[in-house]
Structure 1
Amino acid sequence: MTLNQLRSFIAVARHNGFTAAARALRMSQTTITSQIQVLEEEHGVRLFERRGRRIELTQVGSELLQFARRMVDLEDDATMMLKDSAGLRSGELKIGAVSPYHVIEIVEAFNTRYPDVYLAMTFGNSEAVLHDLGSYGCDVGILARDTDDDRFHVQHYASYPVMAFVHRDHRLAGLRSIGLEALGREKLLMRERGSTTRRALEEGLVAIGLKPRVAMEIGSREAIREAVIRGLGVGTVSESEYVPDELLHPLPIIDAPVLTHIYVCCLRERRRSRMIAAFFEALQRTGPRKGMAISPKARTAKPAKRRQPPDEAGTD
């Protein structure tokens, strides 16, 4: 039994004859007759009683007609769904990201262009995102580092400076910015080893012959922020992830490029998928971006209310 046979059967029943059915389907009467005969012979039944030029459905034919209509309707629905997905009028895109700060910015352009595509986002470190990509747990990934794994297509999205920040009563709070060498002499609140922010700062200090003075190692950017608010020391963070607070004073690093980077990644074999390709096309409309520094006005502004940061997601 094929859907073509069922379509012919429905047409004959609807139009009360083979000639009218052939005309409606724009097929030859011989083809329509042959399909109905094959269907009857394969199952050993009669679907129509032929009374001269008139035909009538048999009992079996009447029962089959209900199933046939449902089956053809399902095929039509499936075809429409596929067409809609191809045109990105429906469907789902699963995104894995190291941080909520970057993924929302990136998906904004995609969502504006394809508002009917359902987006599902999960968060973890770069290793977890790459694992999910490889196991089809997500479709695209937002990473804090590049990878040399040939399975993946990786595209640079943006570079962001690392900055310092202190409590507003700290002795450094009178400065509008800080040099890397001066920062290297301070006792720093640092992320755990492996953090991209920490690695960028360590590499920058090593380049000028200094080793960071780590006063405290803290495993999340939000915890570092709270430690600085409580006056425990000097914190560092990517400027893209800095959350202003009336108790904090930002200190951009002015004399050396200390950067973190964001990459967008997918399995190389899936790069030409319509949905994933559309995501990378949207990416082109938002970037690439470099060195998004804090303006002088934003550096000195003090929000009226303390803002609550997003939950920590990854270790990057």
Structure 2
Amino acid sequence: MDLTALRTFRMVARHEHISRAAAELRVAQPAVSRTVARLEAELGVPLFDRQGRSIRLNRYGAAFLRRVERALGELDDARRELADAAGLDQGRVVVAAETLLTLTSLLSAFRAAHPGVEIRLHQSTAEVMARQLAAREVDLCIASQPLSGAGLRSVVLREEDVLLAVPVGHPLAGRERVGLDEVADEPFVTTRRGHWQRELLDRLFAAAGRSPVITCEGDEPAATQFMIGAGLGIGLIPEIARNESAEAPVRWLRLDVPGCRRVLCLVRRADTYVSVAERRFEAAAVAHFGAGRGAGR
């Protein structure tokens, strides 16, 4: 049993698919199958249930995966800790966020200050972020809603109002505030379920005993403002976007309803070694978003 076999098993277990695991590992599919078969023979139990070409992690495999994740995680932490101690490089940070547009100015400043740090990015929903943290696929997440899972540490980056954006020519464009009842029948531009804007919209309407009228939904939160500007409907946008995407032709109103706010947090596992690169990125994120903490009414 070697590290290559353990990493191969972990990838197959995550995908429950030999071909997809082989593609991500960049090795031939037969080599992956042989590695898993040898590991099962060495352990004396099957790790997957097989039906035709499909495989599913069984109870032996699930128990083994928990141990493998822990062991490989400890080895990865040890490698990063020793690299920090020896000053061998400036490290790597893997970050997940709901929209990458939120990170552009932060990344620009961070890369200028720390050009030797490698940055890898994922665009993920909160559910996917939680899985990525659990599997140690990412180091840090920037999330606008709580992430499920034990042993997570959160740092608040920004608290702000979520505003209502309407097209320039909309009848409400001249208003400063509006009640939920006044927009209950308006078409909304939003994200798919799982993204924080949609979760907030559904929650606000549910509290009023209503359901929103959805005219446009997608997977890129940053595109919402521009779809609103194109006249497709109205929508909820965080206050920070008013300054960062000022070119979109929209007007901004405050929605008079309790809880129409966003808390942006940086989340990581509490049980892993935090590298120098991660600490620097966290400090940069706190400094970058901290100016907006408590923004709004």
Q: Tell me if both proteins adopt one fold, taking TM over 0.5 as the criterion.
A: yes
Instruction: Name 1:155's counterpart in structure 2.
Output: 155
The Cα offsets for residues 253-298 of structure 1, whole Å up to 9 and x where unpaired, read as: 356440122221222222544333343344444454434359xxxx
Instruction: Name 1:275's counterpart in structure 2.
Output: 277
Q: What secondary structure is seen at the aligned counterpart in 2 of 1:189?
A: strand
In the TM superposition, what is the alpha-carbon distance from 1:93 to its structure 2 partner?
Answer: 1.6
What CA distance in whole angstroms lies between the structure 1 residues aligned with 2:214 and 2:252?
19
Q: 1:153 to 1:258 in 2, by over 3 A?
A: same
Q: What secondary structure is seen at the aligned counterpart in 2 of 1:136?
A: coil
Counterpart amino acid of residue 232 in structure 1: L
Counterpart amino acid of residue 167 in structure 1: P
Give the alignment of 1:133-148 within 5 angstroms: 133-148=133-148
Instruction: Name 1:297's counterpart in structure 2.
Output: none
Counterpart amino acid of residue 214 in structure 1: V
Instruction: Name 1:211's counterpart in structure 2.
Output: 210
Instruction: Name 1:52's counterpart in structure 2.
Output: none
Tell me, which stretches of 5 or more residues in structure 2 are unaligned? 1-81
Give the alignment of 1:148-187 within 5 angstroms: 148-184=148-184, 186-187=186-187
Counterpart amino acid of residue 217 in structure 2: I
What CA distance in whole angstroms lies between the structure 2 residues aligned with 1:143 and 1:228?
23
What CA distance in whole angstroms lies between the structure 2 residues aligned with 1:280 and 1:80?
19
Instruction: Name 1:251's counterpart in structure 2.
Output: 253
Q: What secondary structure is seen at the aligned counterpart in 2 of 1:253?
A: strand
Task: Say whether the 8 Å CA contact 2:130–2:147 is kept in structure 1.
Answer: no
Give the alignment of 1:1-316 within 5 angstroms: 82-84=85-87, 90-104=90-104, 106-107=106-107, 110-111=110-111, 114-184=114-184, 186-207=186-207, 209-220=208-219, 221=221, 224-242=224-242, 243-245=245-247, 247-253=249-255, 256-286=258-288, 288=290, 289-293=292-296
Task: Say whether the 8 Å CA contact 2:98–2:195 is kept in structure 1.
Answer: no
Runs of 4+ more than 6 Å apart: none
What CA distance in whole angstroms lies between the structure 2 residues aligned with 1:287 and 1:225?
20
What CA distance in whole angstroms lies between the structure 1 residues aligned with 2:127 and 2:179?
33
Q: 1:291 to 1:201 in 2, by over 3 A?
A: farther
In the TM superposition, what is the alpha-carbon distance from 1:143 to its structure 2 partner?
Answer: 1.9
In the TM superposition, what is the alpha-carbon distance from 1:230 to its structure 2 partner?
Answer: 3.4
Counterpart amino acid of residue 211 in structure 1: R
Structure with higher Rg: it is: 1
What CA distance in whole angstroms lies between the structure 2 residues aligned with 1:149 and 1:168?
42
Task: Say whether the 8 Å CA contact 1:179–1:256 is kept in structure 2.
Answer: no
What CA distance in whole angstroms lies between the structure 2 residues aligned with 1:120 and 1:160?
27
What do you get for the CA RMSD once the two structures are aligned?
A: 3.3
TM-score (norm 1): 0.55
Task: Say whether the 8 Å CA contact 2:93–2:139 is kept in structure 1.
Answer: yes
Task: Say whether the 8 Å CA contact 2:117–2:277 is kept in structure 1.
Answer: no
What CA distance in whole angstroms lies between the structure 1 residues aligned with 2:113 and 2:222?
33
Instruction: Name 2:69's counterpart in structure 1.
Output: none
What CA distance in whole angstroms lies between the structure 2 residues aligned with 1:270 and 1:81?
14
Counterpart amino acid of residue 278 in structure 2: I
TM-score (norm 2): 0.58
Q: Quick one: percent identity of the two aligned structures?
A: 17
Q: 1:213 to 1:94 in 2, by over 3 A?
A: closer
In the TM superposition, what is the alpha-carbon distance from 1:225 to its structure 2 partner?
Answer: 3.6
What CA distance in whole angstroms lies between the structure 2 residues aligned with 1:128 and 1:203?
20
Q: Across the two proteins, how many residue pairs are aligned to each other?
A: 212
Q: 1:241 to 1:247 in 2, by over 3 A?
A: closer
Counterpart amino acid of residue 218 in structure 1: E
In the TM superposition, what is the alpha-carbon distance from 1:112 to its structure 2 partner?
Answer: 6.0
Task: Say whether the 8 Å CA contact 1:191–1:219 is kept in structure 2.
Answer: yes
The Cα offsets for residues 105-128 of structure 1, whole Å up to 9 and x where unpaired, read as: 555675565443222222222222
